[in-house]
Amino acid sequence: MITRLKRSRQMIRLVRPMELTSSDLIYPVFIREDGKRFEIPSMKGQMYYSLKSCSDVCSKVVNLGIPAVMIFGLIKKKNVDGSVALRKNGFHIEIFRKLKKEFGDDLVLISNVCLCDFTLSGSCVYMEKGKVLNEKTAKMLGKIAVVHAEAGADVVAPAAMADGQVRHMRSALDEAGFEDVSIMSYIKTDSCLFHPFFKAVSSSKTPRKGVDSSKFRTDIINRKMFMAKVDLDISEGVDIIIVKPALTNLDLILLTKQRYPNIPIAAYQVSGEYVMIKAPSENGYLDENALLMESLNSIKRAGADMILTYHGLEAAKLLKKEF
């Protein structure tokens, strides 16, 4: 009789095989070089921070028991080939130096490493005549990873989906003496759920116009293609896999967990999922907190060991209230 196991709230808690905690969460933080601090229009409730004010939100993260932040640096001047990423004393260097100095080992600093942060086109990869230049992209990502590691990043997260990106990053980091810096690679299905994020990180009214993301993300319908990318990144020495988005890829989280039970898996509850949780509550259709906890628990149940979520601060507060 299953009802016996549901006799009381504490009985229900007791028999749970897993429990979401604040230590499962990673909070993404957007930091602007122009120093402006305001609410992100495409992601209401989330803020852009300045170099100065990012310490405040990181303190909140630490105080809520969240172990890590994913840093997105929004630079003032991008260039065609993204080589500004390698400039001395660039904005990302300032961010990591500052946060490492202030928080030390109390906060894991994860750096999002992608060409779109630095290229005028907003493309995540180098392309020529419609073809992705994997090696050229991967080599550049390796160089950027070293710059961020030198400045204090604990983990680098290649986001370009280029074949060979983990291999190049690992060897570049090792050669530079950063054997202890982990690589956490994104594996993304081609999804409309990234759109509010691209609106947030692009100054253009039509973000990433002309960028064909189907060339570098995996086909949402094709799980074999997704798993082939997982296999490739693991063969290249990745430490942690990020499945992105989470909601539409719960089966892929489970598949990855089953195939690689010893590799930590992160799931990214992306910007589109964030607004999908926010919007119905604004109209009174659904309870935001209940929907948030249900979705996070379903992601964890699918096999995620950690979850990147824009609802990180709210989720950690709710988890504190749980008795």
Of the ranges 87-95, 112-120, 190-198, 296-304, which one interacts with Zn ion (CB under 5 A)?
112-120
Residue number with CB closer to Zn ion (141 or 319): 141
Q: Please report whether residue 114 would count as binding Zn ion according to CB under 5 A.
A: yes
Of the listed pieces 124-132, 136-144, 145-153, 254-262, which binds Zn ion according to CB under 5 A? 124-132
Q: How many residues bind Zn ion (CB under 5 A)?
A: 4
Q: Does residue 319 touch Zn ion according to CB under 5 A?
A: no
Which one of 74, 93, 95, 124 is in contact with Zn ion (CB under 5 A)? 124
Helix 91-103 × helix 54-63 angle, to 10°? 40
> Residue 64 interacts with Zn ion (CB under 5 A)?
no
Rg (CA), the chain: 19
161 vs 125: CA distance, rounded Å: 8
Tell whether residue 255 is a contact of Zn ion (CB under 5 A): no
Q: Least separation, in Å, of the C-beta of 200 and Zn ion? A: 13
Decide: is 184 part of the binding site for Zn ion (CB under 5 A). Answer: no
Which among 39, 22, 49, 32 is positioned nearest to 278, based on CA atoms?
A: 39
Residue 275's alpha-carbon distances to 53, 62, 76, 92, 269, in angstroms, are 24, 25, 27, 27, 10
Please identify which of the residues 139, 188, 199, 278 carries the catalytic annotation.
188
Q: How far is the CB of 161 from Zn ion (least distance, A)?
A: 8
| Catalytic residue flag (residue 188) | yes
244 is a catalytic site residue: yes
Using CB under 5 A as the binding rule, whether residue 146 contacts Zn ion is answered as no
- Among 139, 229, 244, 257, the one annotated catalytic: 244
Angle between helices 250-259 and 223-235 (to 10 degrees): 40
Q: Which is nearer to Zn ion, 107 or 114 (CB)?
A: 114
Q: How far is CA 96 from CA 73, 88, 200, in A?
A: 10, 13, 21
Considering the complex, state which of residue 86 and residue 279 has its C-beta at the smaller distance from Zn ion: 86
Stretch that binds Zn ion, among 102-110, 155-163, 168-176, 293-301 (CB under 5 A): 155-163
Quick check: helix, strand or coil at residue 322? Answer: coil
Compute φ and ψ for 75, nearest 5 degrees.
Answer: -85, 160
Whole-number minimum distance, CB 235 to Zn ion, in Å?
A: 22
Residue type, 277: I
- By CB under 5 A, is residue 200 in contact with Zn ion? no
Between 158 and 312, name the residue whose CB sits nearer to Zn ion.
158
φ and ψ at residue 210, rounded to 5 degrees: 90, -5
Alpha carbon distance, N-terminus to C-terminus of the chain: 26
Q: How far apart are CA 124 and CA 75, in angstroms?
A: 15
Backbone angles phi, psi at 183, to 5 degrees: -115, 130
Two structure tokens written together for 235: 């063969």
Residue 116 binding Zn ion, by CB under 5 A: yes
- Beta carbon nearer to Zn ion, 61 or 242: 242
- Kindly list the catalytic residues: 188, 244
Binding positions for Zn ion, rule: CB under 5 A: 114, 116, 124, 159
